[in-house]
């Protein structure tokens, strides 16, 4: 079996190829059936053998079963495909031949040969993007062995899928090359082609001065910026596929680049992005492209893009041991939360996509006995069962409850599929990626959606609302009710010889029992801040007195400038001393209505750089959050409670009379909503979300002798 001499890419819709091969598929459909998988053992893997053929010919292939030990040896070399499935229907067709030696049909001139060949073939439906990838990567002379998840795994066999998913890390590591398929340009819109050619200039360091000063390269930089928005970079599975690759090539249409070249170009682009950004704003703001410009300039950022995250993260996911084996450096919780913006077609893969490359897996595919195993992939479970098991594992292994504040989970499907056991609603203590700072998948291309998370990332707490580790620390006190499976009695029917089988009914108690203290109730809230605008009401609520005629600033209260940045810098560290001075500077640029319009100030080039830095932090904290004021509840007496006024920022859907609480094991305060009940005392609560409360972020609430309370979150 020969390795392919070159690698090419395809487009995302594949209509040209489909139209040229429709006669083949139609004829084959008359004499053949859909391909039916034969079950393989858990020690075997299928490889797709793609027969030689020209670009426009029908794709003919066979599936070869290989034992795990043979995979990637000299006898069975192969490439692995990394691509975006896409949301389209499986309306493209390839032909699978049971006889590996059969030759692809070359022409329709001889109808007898066509029918004879078709009789040995069976159809396999694939998505258009995969079809295009196979067309472009096929060789005209040699058979190519390739591993493709959609074809080499029987997606309708739950048990096989679970077995193969756990082996995917090993499969990608054994492949001699990973082919990254980005797609191809539509006719007349050669953005990707231009970008792939421009990469060669970017990685040539002698060109940098010219590329960063000559305006004729504006469109080239814009095309590279567009290429980084390709849907492949939003896919969750690509992280392990790329991180484990021995070698990788990036294919876009008929252009190909080594992954190292591609990665270097992105790194250089990122390094000089602030120099290029004004060009991009000018380019997209031109009249002919005005429709592409969004309302705020956060869309012209690079740090949150999947391409940038891949470049930064993949080289650090593994390190080599002395024996040459790979060791993961990231825990499963960190992978799920740090890379939450990557999407997947099946939300159950929110966690499955990272299990094999997690630190808990230790050596690839084998879990460390000293560490509790994460939940194994189980496609027989519904989404709540999978998410619940993951949260339970995180709390038990970390002792932290911060996971319920992080936006890490993908939403349930809107319609069932043949492989979905059942659709479920999810409780309030499972927060969705869609509501995170940048959203998920291609949503991230549209700019910022919300403020940065207060709890931060695992193993790197920004705050200590439950107290610092030690005697004063209040660890997580959590109870997870068990899932009950009821079996219905089979119903007998007169016309049936045997009774119908009993269908198990899964009954979920979606509550989470936690313990903590109530520190107050919400007595006032503003509407969520408009994008990049800090309202006069918020400024005054934090102690500022607006005077339109003032000629100088007397000084800003600590409560004001610290709360606006949540008393942390962008890295979660203590605020630098100059933040106070930067805040006072900004207060001189209030609008006539007393607001601070961050976007307007940032667009003006005459302000000091440290002012821009401060305002970018303010925007990251306040975006789409509400300013809240609360009535303090503690055992120190009403007078002392009144003196310690509660102010801060809460979720956009915070309501009056919501409860401000600190849950044991949670590093930040939370907003809880009492659920309606017949009795005066609520027994169930919705978790609205995390909050920043001035003066209550470092265990101070426990000095107020607040009453300990049990909460049932639903």
| Per-residue confidence (pLDDT) for residue 367, from 0 to 100 | 57
* 444: confidence class by pLDDT, cuts 50, 70, 90: confident
Q: Does residue 377 register a pLDDT over 80?
A: yes
* 551: confidence class by pLDDT, cuts 50, 70, 90: low
Q: Does residue 706 register a pLDDT over 80?
A: no
Q: Which of the two residues, 584 and 553, has the higher pLDDT score?
A: 584
| Per-residue confidence (pLDDT) for residue 495, from 0 to 100 | 36
User: Tell me: the pLDDT tens digits for 563-589?
Assistant: 999 999 999 999 999 999 999 999 988
Sign of CA dihedral 211, 217, 219, 223: negative
| Per-residue confidence (pLDDT) for residue 296, from 0 to 100 | 63
Write the DSSP string, 526-588: PPPPPTTEE-HHHHHHTT----TT-SS-----HHHHHHHTTTS-TTSSPPPTHHHHHHHHHHT
Sign of CA dihedral 153, 30, 61, 180: negative
Q: Helices (H), strands (E): how many in the chain?
A: 22, 26
Q: What are phi and psi of 327, to 5 degrees?
A: -125, 125
| Per-residue confidence (pLDDT) for residue 27, from 0 to 100 | 45
Cβ neighbors of 6 (< 8 A, separation 6 or more) are 256
Q: For the chain, what percent of residues have pLDDT higher than 70?
A: 81
CA-closest candidate to residue 64, choices 81, 85, 78: 78
Q: Does residue 8 register a pLDDT over 90?
A: no
Residues 128, 161: contact at Cβ < 8 Å?
A: no
Q: Does residue 102 register a pLDDT over 50?
A: no
Alpha-carbon separation of residue 330 from 343, 362, 365 (angstroms): 19, 10, 15
Q: Does residue 3 register a pLDDT over 50?
A: no
**Which stretch, 91-95, 547-551, 560-564, has highest mean pLDDT?**
560-564
Helix (H) or strand (E) holding 182: strand 177-183
User: Tell me: the pLDDT tens digits for 643-673?
Assistant: 567 999 999 999 999 999 999 999 999 999 9
Give the mean pLDDT of the chain: 84
Q: Does residue 530 register a pLDDT over 50?
A: yes
| Per-residue confidence (pLDDT) for residue 598, from 0 to 100 | 92
| Per-residue confidence (pLDDT) for residue 6, from 0 to 100 | 34
List strand residue ranges (DSSP E) for 60-143, in order. 60-67, 79-82, 92-97, 121-126
Cα separation, 469 vs 185, in Å, equals: 54
Q: How many CB atoms lie within 10 A of CB 44?
A: 17
CA-closest candidate to residue 284, choices 214, 357, 219: 219
| Per-residue confidence (pLDDT) for residue 298, from 0 to 100 | 77
Residues 327, 319: contact at Cβ < 8 Å?
A: yes
Q: Does residue 10 register a pLDDT over 50?
A: no
Mean local confidence (pLDDT), 106-135: 70
* 418: confidence class by pLDDT, cuts 50, 70, 90: confident
Q: Which of the two residues, 546 and 270, has the higher pLDDT score?
A: 270
pTM confidence score: 0.83
| Per-residue confidence (pLDDT) for residue 94, from 0 to 100 | 93
Q: Does residue 270 register a pLDDT over 50?
A: yes
Would you state the torsion angle of the CA atoms of residues 237, 240, 241, 245, taken in this order, to the nearest 10 degrees? 170
* 189: confidence class by pLDDT, cuts 50, 70, 90: low
Q: Give the lowest-confidence range in 35-44, 203-212, 496-505, 631-640.
A: 496-505
User: Tell me: the pLDDT tens digits for 140-174?
Assistant: 999 999 999 999 999 999 999 999 998 999 999 99
Q: Give the lowest-confidence range in 115-119, 249-253, 514-518, 539-543.
A: 115-119
List strand residue ranges (DSSP E) for 56-109, in order. 60-67, 79-82, 92-97
């Amino acid at each position: 079996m020969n390795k392919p001499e070159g690698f090419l890419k395809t487009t995302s819709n594949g209509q040209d190829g489909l139209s040229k091969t429709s006669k083949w598929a139609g004829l084959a459909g008359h004499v053949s059936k859909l391909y039916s998988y034969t079950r393989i053992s858990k020690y075997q893997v299928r490889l797709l053998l793609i027969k030689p053929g020209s670009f426009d010919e029908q794709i003919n292939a066979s599936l070869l079963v290989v034992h795990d030990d043979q995979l990637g040896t000299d006898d069975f070399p192969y490439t692995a495909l990394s691509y975006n499935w896409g949301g389209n229907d499986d309306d493209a067709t390839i032909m699978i031949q049971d006889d590996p030696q059969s030759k692809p049909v070359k022409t329709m001139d001889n109808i007898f040969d066509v029918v004879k060949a078709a009789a040995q073939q069976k159809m396999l439906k694939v998505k258009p993007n995969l079809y295009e990838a196979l067309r472009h990567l096929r060789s005209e002379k040699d058979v190519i062995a390739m591993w493709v998840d959609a074809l080499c795994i029987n997606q309708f066999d739950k048990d096989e899928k679970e077995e193969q998913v756990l082996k995917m890390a090993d499969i990608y590591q054994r492949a001699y090359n990973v082919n990254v398929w980005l797609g191809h340009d539509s006719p007349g819109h050669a953005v990707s082609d231009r970008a792939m050619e421009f990469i060669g200039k970017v990685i040539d360091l002698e060109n940098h001065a010219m590329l960063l000063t000559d305006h004729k390269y504006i469109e080239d930089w814009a095309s590279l910026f567009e290429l980084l928005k390709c849907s492949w970079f939003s896919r969750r599975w690509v992280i392990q596929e790329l991180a484990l690759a021995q070698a990788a090539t990036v294919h876009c249409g008929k252009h190909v680049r080594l992954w190292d070249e591609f990665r270097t170009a992105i790194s250089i682009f990122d390094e000089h992005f602030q120099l290029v950004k004004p060009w991009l704003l000018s380019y997209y703001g031109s009249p002919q492209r005005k429709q592409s410009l969004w309302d705020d300039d956060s869309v012209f950022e690079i740090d949150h893009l999947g391409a940038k995250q891949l470049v930064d993260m993949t080289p650090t996911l593994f390190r080599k041991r002395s024996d040459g084996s790979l060791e993961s450096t990231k825990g499963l919780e960190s992978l799920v939360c740090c890379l939450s913006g990557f999407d997947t077609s099946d939300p159950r893969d929110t966690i499955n996509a990272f299990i094999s490359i997690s630190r808990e897996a230790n050596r690839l595919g084998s879990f460390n006995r000293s560490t509790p195993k994460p939940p194994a992939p189980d496609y027989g479970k519904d989404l709540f069962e999978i998410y619940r098991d993951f949260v339970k594992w995180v709390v038990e292994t970390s002792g932290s409850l911060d996971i319920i504040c992080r936006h890490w989970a993908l939403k349930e499907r809107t319609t069932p599929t043949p492989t979905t056991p059942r659709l479920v609603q999810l409780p309030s203590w499972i927060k969705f990626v869609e509501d995170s700072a940048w959203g998920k998948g291609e949503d991230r291309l549209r700019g910022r959606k919300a403020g940065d998370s207060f709890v931060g990332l695992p193993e790197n707490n920004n705050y200590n609302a439950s107290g610092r580790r030690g005697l004063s620390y209040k660890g997580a006190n959590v109870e997870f009710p068990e899932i009950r499976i009821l079996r219905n009695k089979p119903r007998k029917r007169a016309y049936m010889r045997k009774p119908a089988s009993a269908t198990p009914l899964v009954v979920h108690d979606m509550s989470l029992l936690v313990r903590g203290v109530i520190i107050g109730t919400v007595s006032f809230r503003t509407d969520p801040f408009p994008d990049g605008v800090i309202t006069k009401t918020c400024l005054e609520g934090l102690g500022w007195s607006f005077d339109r005629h003032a000629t100088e600033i007397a000084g800003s209260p600590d409560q004001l400038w610290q709360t606006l940045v949540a008393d942390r810098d962008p890295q979660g560290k203590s605020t630098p001393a100059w933040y106070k001075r930067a805040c006072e500077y900004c207060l001189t640029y209030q609008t006539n209505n007393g607001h601070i319009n961050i976007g307007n100030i940032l667009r003006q080039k005459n302000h000091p750089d440290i002012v821009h830095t401060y305002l970018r932090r303010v925007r990251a904290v306040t975006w789409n959050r509400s300013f809240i004021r609360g009535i303090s509840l503690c055992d120190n007496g009403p007078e002392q409670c009144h003196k310690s006024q509660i102010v801060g920022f809460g979720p956009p859907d915070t309501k009056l009379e919501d409860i401000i609480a600190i849950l044991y094991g949670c590093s930040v305060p939370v907003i809880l909503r009492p659920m309606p009940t017949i009795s005066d005392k609520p027994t169930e609560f919705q978790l609205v979300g995390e909050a920043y409360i001035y003066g209550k972020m470092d265990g101070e609430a426990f000095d107020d002798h607040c009453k300990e309370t049990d909460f049932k979150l639903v």
